[in-house]
């Protein structure tokens, strides 16, 4: 039950200052390469030089609380300034801990009023995957830049709707692919870009953890909400092959999903890339493995583990170690990179188009597993 005090906090006071909304000249919206829509009715605000961007977290679950909020304490270009939640009982603790004023506290019902609040620049969507589209579109329509957690959405259509909403409302969009901001992963990607070990011959991408079949009364155990290994962990394997091979797959050759209840606990797949290159992917929420390995004509380079919060380490056939591992601050780097991209009007590392294209691969893997057929992308 909501008590009087939390209800008061929950009902944010309307901010009447419409003044801060000045058009950011030439601001490019959403993913790299998309031009802002000149006729947009809700212009994004140009942040003042040297000012930190104010971020509102939408969804105060385990990732927001355990990783994103603590990481925001170390960011240099953005700061935690607001919350948007469907759980009023969480509000007092968040307000007290992060010094969040009443006027920056919203519910899912009144979050559209963000349009009137010049003190929030970015909404970071950190809710169950099936809800990303609705919340990201509403944030964009309120004129706020959008950071959206992975996996971007349930479908390509939903992902595109987020991209379109950001374009139409002249705001930027980044997907929460934290690995792209991790320095050892960036060194690994540099080796891929220069084909340090010759033409690629094969690739393997594995991401799994030894958990248990998620309960069906929790979203991670519900298919319609985006639960299961493939959406949750498999998206790292798909994205890893994209950056490891520096190209997009052309087909899912075959796939197999193990679904003891509603969602898959393990999924295996084979992707075909241009030139006939085959890559093997595997993901699980019941078995531990974590490796991204690219084979070339003259050797190999790999990340092992490839996607934990800390301890990412790389190795090559030449004996080079990519490290030392950084300790748990990928999200700080991610949010600072994304804030700088907004302030400097530069491309983001993880644009909406990348998130959308990974969802296309995920959907094709599911289709291939269900039909037993090769699915062209
Ligand atoms: P969680 O279950 O711990 O938290 C989800 C939050 O969303 C809760 O506060 C819940 O109240 C809220 N919510 C809003 N609408 C909801 C609805 N309709 N049904 C259920 N809950 C609803 O989940 P989480 O682990 O914090 O994951 C949230 C998102 O963050 C997911 O998209 C997940 O894939 C992503 N995530 C990313 C990483 C990463 O490393 N990038 C890590 C963990 C989670």
Q: With 0.85 as the threshold, say if the pTM is over it.
A: yes
- Mutation to probe ligand 1, out of 67, 126, 214, 359 (largest number of atoms < 8 A from CB): 126
Q: Can you give the pLDDT of all 377 residues of the chain as single tens digits?
A: 333 333 222 322 222 222 222 222 222 223 222 222 222 233 344 555 668 999 999 999 999 999 999 999 999 999 999 999 999 999 999 999 999 999 999 999 999 999 999 999 999 999 999 999 999 999 999 999 999 999 999 999 999 999 999 999 999 999 999 999 999 999 999 999 999 999 999 999 999 999 988 899 999 999 999 999 999 999 999 999 999 999 999 999 999 999 999 999 999 999 999 999 999 999 999 999 999 999 999 999 999 999 999 999 999 999 999 988 776 589 999 999 999 999 999 999 999 999 999 999 999 999 999 999 999 99
Distance set, CA 22 to CA 43, 50, 82 (Å): 7, 17, 21
Residue 35 confidence (pLDDT): 26
Element (H, E) at 330: helix 330-344
**If DSSP codes are grouped into helix, strand and coil, which group holds residue 118?**
coil
Residue 51 confidence (pLDDT): 87
CB 191 within 8 A of CB 267: no
Is the alpha carbon torsion for 100, 104, 106, 111 positive or negative? Answer: negative
Relative to the CA of 178, which ligand 1 atom is closest?
41
CA 199 to centroid of ligand 1, rounded, Å: 39
Cα dihedral 128, 131, 132, 135 in deg (nearest 10) = -130
CA 126 to centroid of ligand 1, rounded, Å: 5
CA 57 to centroid of ligand 1, rounded, Å: 11
Pairing of strands 173-175, 145-148: parallel
Candidates 60, 176, 71; CA nearest to 127 is 60
- Read off the tokens for 37: 């829509």
- Atom 14 of ligand 1, residue of closest alpha carbon: 127
The DSSP-derived string for 201-270 is: EEEEEEEEEE--PPPTTSGGG-GGGT-SHIIIIIHHHHHHHHHHHTS---EEEEEEEE-SSSS-SEEEEE
Residue 266 confidence (pLDDT): 98
State the Cα–Cα distance between residues 42 and 63, nearest whole angstrom: 30
Relative to the CA of 63, which ligand 1 atom is closest?
26
**If DSSP codes are grouped into helix, strand and coil, which group holds residue 116?**
helix
State the Cα–Cα distance between residues 124 and 98, nearest whole angstrom: 16
Residue 7 confidence (pLDDT): 29
Distance set, CA 339 to CA 24, 212, 303 (Å): 15, 36, 27
Contact 82 CB / ligand 1 (< 6 Å): no
């Amino acid at each position: 039950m909501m008590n009087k005090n939390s209800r008061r906090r929950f009902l944010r006071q309307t901010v009447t200052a419409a003044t801060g909304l000045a058009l950011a000249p030439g601001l490019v919206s959403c993913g790299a390469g998309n031009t802002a829509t000149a006729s947009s009715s809700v212009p994004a605000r140009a942040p003042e030089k040297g000012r930190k961007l104010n971020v509102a977290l939408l969804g105060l679950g385990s990732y927001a609380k355990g990783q994103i909020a603590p990481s925001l304490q170390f960011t240099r270009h953005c700061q935690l300034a607001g919350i948007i939640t469907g759980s009023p009982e969480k509000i007092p603790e968040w307000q007290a801990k992060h010094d969040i004023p009443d006027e920056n506290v919203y519910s899912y019902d009144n979050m559209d009023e963000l349009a009137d609040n010049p003190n929030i620049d970015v909404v970071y969507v950190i809710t169950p995957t099936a809800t990303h589209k609705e919340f990201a579109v509403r944030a964009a329509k309120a004129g706020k830049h959008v950071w959206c957690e992975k996996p971007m959405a349930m479908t390509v259509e939903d992902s595109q709707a987020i991209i379109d909403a950001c374009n139409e409302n002249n705001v930027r969009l980044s997907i929460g692919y934290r690995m792209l901001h991790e320095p050892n992963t960036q060194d690994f990607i540099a080796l891929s870009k220069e084909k340090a070990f010759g033409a690629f011959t094969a690739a393997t991408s594995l991401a799994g953890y030894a958990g248990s079949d998620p309960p069906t009364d929790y979203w991670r155990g519900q298919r319609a909400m985006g639960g299961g290994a493939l959406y949750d962990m498999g998206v790292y394997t798909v994205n890893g092959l994209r950056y490891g091979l520096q190209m997009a797959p052309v087909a899912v050759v075959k796939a197999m999903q193990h679904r003891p209840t509603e969602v898959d606990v393990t999924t295996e797949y084979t992707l075909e890339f241009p030139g006939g290159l085959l890559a093997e992917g595997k993901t699980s929420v019941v078995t531990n493995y974590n490796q991204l390995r690219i084979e070339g004509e003259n050797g190999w380079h790999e990340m092992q583990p490839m996607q934990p919060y800390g301890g990412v380490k790389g190795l090559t056939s030449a004996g080079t170690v990519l490290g030392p591992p950084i300790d748990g601050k990928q999200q700080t780097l991610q949010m600072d990179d994304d804030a700088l991209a907004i302030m400097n009007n530069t491309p983001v590392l993880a644009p909406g188009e990348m998130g959308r294209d990974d969802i296309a691969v995920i959907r094709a893997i599911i289709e291939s597993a269900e039909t037993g057929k090769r699915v062209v992308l």
